[in-house]
């Protein structure tokens, strides 16, 4: 490839983002990364520069690397500028603290989405999410969000932890504890930097995630739409994980839109749905964790807000671990719904 000469933030102590490494293709070419969508091949490199790239682990400062490159220092600088501009480098000079692991993980996500990793890490650290649910998905989603670096994850969960829930992020000594407290402990264990206190009522969370409930009560849906509160349902349908649709009031289709579409397809849906209001779905532990991870990934896409609509925009994602399928199902704004979302 042609080395990029665009000005970029070259890290003072550069290293590749977690999960990415440099490998030699031949005696002059080095490949950074494996995925064809993001990998970079740098050709015609002096052997000294190729060796430095393969050993780029953050232990050497930029000044030391330049000194080792000798006469090839200008080539090294240009190559590192190119890699930095592609989001493949992070700065290893930061004093390690409890936030660093999460920032490094954010770098790998940011590289895949094209957002500067520092911007993305800061954005998720400033995000507040409330997880509301009484099933296994509630604690699983909350814990994954904390691990991913979300700054504030609060639980709204009634009841106490039961024996049947052990193994889905709950411990044996959680049995009998208030579910809300046990979720807060799981979140803090996953990431001590994540706040778990209730979100102030005067501003609300950035996103309210409803887990486990098969059908939300209509009055709750009305309340969310009236308050213009972004929300996301995550639940199971006979063991299949269903994430979405993401509801951004006035911008995307809403849960009422989806119900109207279902009524168009099934005249009995309204009666069926009424029997499922407030009921909790369940699945096996593997499906629970996988669905929680899928939901967390889509929440991060939503937080990213990079201009492109996330996959849950007017849609749901259905995850079936038995068949290995992830199915995207579209739910456009319904013409009879009054939510105000633009058609299409």
String of DSSP letters for 169-214 = TB-GGGTTSBHHHHHHHHHHHH-TTSB-SPPPTTT--SEEEEESBS
pLDDT at 343: 85
Give the pLDDT band (50/70/90) at residue 344: low
233 — phi, psi (to 5°)?
-85, 140
Residue 14 has pLDDT above 70, yes or no: yes
pTM of the model: 0.83
Residue 244 has pLDDT above 70, yes or no: yes
Q: Per residue in 328-343, pLDDT tens? A: 999 999 999 999 999 8
- The residue-averaged pLDDT of 36-61 equals 89
- The residue-averaged pLDDT of 111-116 equals 68
How does 331-340 read in b/e, with b if 16+ C-beta sit within 10 Å?
bbbbeebebe
How does 74-93 read in b/e, with b if 16+ C-beta sit within 10 Å?
ebbbbbbbbbbbbbbbbbbe
Q: How many C-beta atoms surround the C-beta of residue 240 within 10 A?
A: 19
- The residue-averaged pLDDT of 48-72 equals 91
- In whole angstroms, what is the distance from residue 205 CA to residue 208 CA? 6
Cα 139 from chain centroid (whole Å): 16
- In whole angstroms, what is the distance from residue 99 CA to residue 96 CA? 8
Q: Where are the alpha helices (DSSP H) in the chain?
A: 47-54, 62-69, 73-85, 100-113, 117-125, 136-147, 179-190, 218-226, 255-265, 269-274, 285-304
Q: Where is pLDDT greater, at 106 or 247?
A: 247
- In whole angstroms, what is the distance from residue 83 CA to residue 4 CA? 9
- The residue-averaged pLDDT of 102-118 equals 67
Residue 170 has pLDDT above 50, yes or no: yes
Residue 4 has pLDDT above 50, yes or no: no
- The residue-averaged pLDDT of 281-309 equals 89
Cα–Cα nearest to 53, from 91, 23, 20, 28: 23
Q: Where is pLDDT greater, at 112 or 52?
A: 52
Cα–Cα nearest to 324, from 233, 238, 240, 243: 240
- Mean pLDDT over all residues of the chain? 88
How does 287-305 read in b/e, with b if 16+ C-beta sit within 10 Å?
bbbbbbbbbbbbbbbbbbe
Residue 324 has pLDDT above 70, yes or no: yes
pLDDT at 2: 42
High-pLDDT (> 70) share of the chain, %:
90
- The residue-averaged pLDDT of 234-252 equals 95
High-pLDDT (> 90) share of the chain, %:
61
Ordered domains of the chain (ranges, CATH): 14-91 (3.90.930.60), 127-330 (3.40.50.720)
CB 148 within 8 A of CB 124: yes
pLDDT at 84: 87
Tokens encoding 259: 């119900």
Residue 5 has pLDDT above 50, yes or no: no
Give the pLDDT band (50/70/90) at residue 125: confident
pLDDT at 30: 92
Residue 137 has pLDDT above 60, yes or no: yes
Q: Which three-class secondary structure state does DSSP give residue 103?
A: helix
Residue 104 has pLDDT above 90, yes or no: no
Give the pLDDT band (50/70/90) at residue 165: confident
pLDDT at 263: 95
């Amino acid at each position: 490839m042609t080395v990029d000469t665009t000005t970029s933030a070259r890290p003072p102590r550069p290293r590749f983002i977690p999960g990415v490494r440099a490998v030699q293709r031949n005696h002059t070419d080095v490949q950074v990364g494996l995925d064809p969508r993001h990998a970079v091949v740098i050709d015609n490199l002096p052997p000294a520069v190729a060796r430095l790239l393969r050993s780029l682990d953050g232990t050497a400062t930029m000044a030391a690397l330049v000194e080792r490159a000798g006469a090839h220092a200008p080539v090294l600088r240009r190559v590192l500028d190119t890699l930095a501009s592609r989001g493949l480098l992070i700065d290893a000079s930061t004093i390690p603290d409890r936030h660093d692991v999460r920032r490094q993980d954010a770098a790998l996500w940011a590289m895949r989405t094209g957002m500067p990793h520092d911007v993305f890490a800061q954005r998720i650290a400033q995000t507040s999410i409330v997880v509301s649910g009484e099933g296994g998905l509630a604690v699983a989603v909350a814990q994954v969000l904390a691990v991913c670096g979300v700054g504030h994850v609060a639980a709204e969960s009634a009841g106490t932890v039961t024996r049947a829930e052990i193994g889905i992020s709950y411990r044996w000594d959680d049995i009998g504890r208030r579910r809300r407290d046990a979720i807060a402990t799981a979140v803090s264990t996953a990431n001590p930097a994540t706040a778990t206190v209730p979100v102030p009522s005067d501003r609300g969370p950035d996103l309210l995630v409803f887990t486990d409930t098969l059908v939300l009560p209509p009055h709750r849906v009305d309340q969310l739409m009236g308050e213009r509160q972004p929300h996301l349902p995550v639940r199971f349908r006979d063991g299949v994980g269903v994430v979405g649709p993401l509801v951004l009031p006035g911008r995307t289709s809403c849960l009422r839109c989806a119900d109207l579409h279902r009524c168009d397809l099934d005249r009995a849906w309204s009666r069926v749905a009424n029997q499922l209001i407030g009921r909790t779905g369940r699945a096996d532990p593997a499906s629970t964790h996988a669905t929680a991870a899928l939901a967390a990934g889509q929440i991060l896409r939503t937080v990213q807000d990079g201009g492109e609509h996330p996959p849950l925009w007017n849609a749901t994602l259905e995850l079936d671990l038995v068949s290995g399928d992830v199915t995207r199902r579209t739910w456009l704004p319904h013409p009879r719904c009054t939510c105000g979302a633009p058609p299409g």
